[in-house]
Amino acid sequence: MAKKITMDDLKKRLQERQYKLTPQRQTVLQIFLGRAGEHLSAEDVHGILRQNQSEIGLATVYRSLELLSDINILQKMDFGDGRSRYELNETDAKEHQHHHLICLKCGTVKEFADDLLEPLELDISEKSQFQIIDHQVKFYGYCQECQKKRED
């Protein structure tokens, strides 16, 4: 089981890349630490900040998220809804990212970690003489709640 990431870990990762942990970055990162496994857009983060009476503006949130994803502290994802989503990048560089189940109705995103594609990846790599570093899978459909609503 992976070690839980702390603010000290994130501060060290920033410093290793020659960046400071500004108060704004710390506040943004604290949101992700408190919502592990959630996939948050810039607007989601800004909304949480406003609920907490923070004065950090949306432009600062966007800049922080872009920087933190550029230096691999956050993972930036596109689920096809026109909004980038972010989550803490907790994976080891040698491991595959987890995969996602995306509800087409409510937009809920769930993760699953089973890497059933490992044999396929090895087969493709051997046949094509292509060194595969990683893959990402997104399944689109309807979550259990939306399925129930469709049946009503």
Binding positions for Fe cation are 118, 135
Own/partner contacts of 69-74, CB < 8 Å, gap of 24 or more, are 71/13, 71/14, 71/17, 71/19, 73/10, 73/13, 73/14, 73/29, 74/32
* Angle, helices 58-70/23-34, rounded to nearest 10 degrees: 80
Instruction: Output phi, psi for 50, to 5 deg.
Output: -65, -40
Binding residues for Zn(2+): 103, 106, 143, 146
Is residue 121 within 8 A of residue 82, CB to CB? The reply is no
Sign for the CA dihedral angle at 145, 149, 150, 152 comes to: positive
Alpha carbons 87 and 110: distance in angstroms, whole number? 12
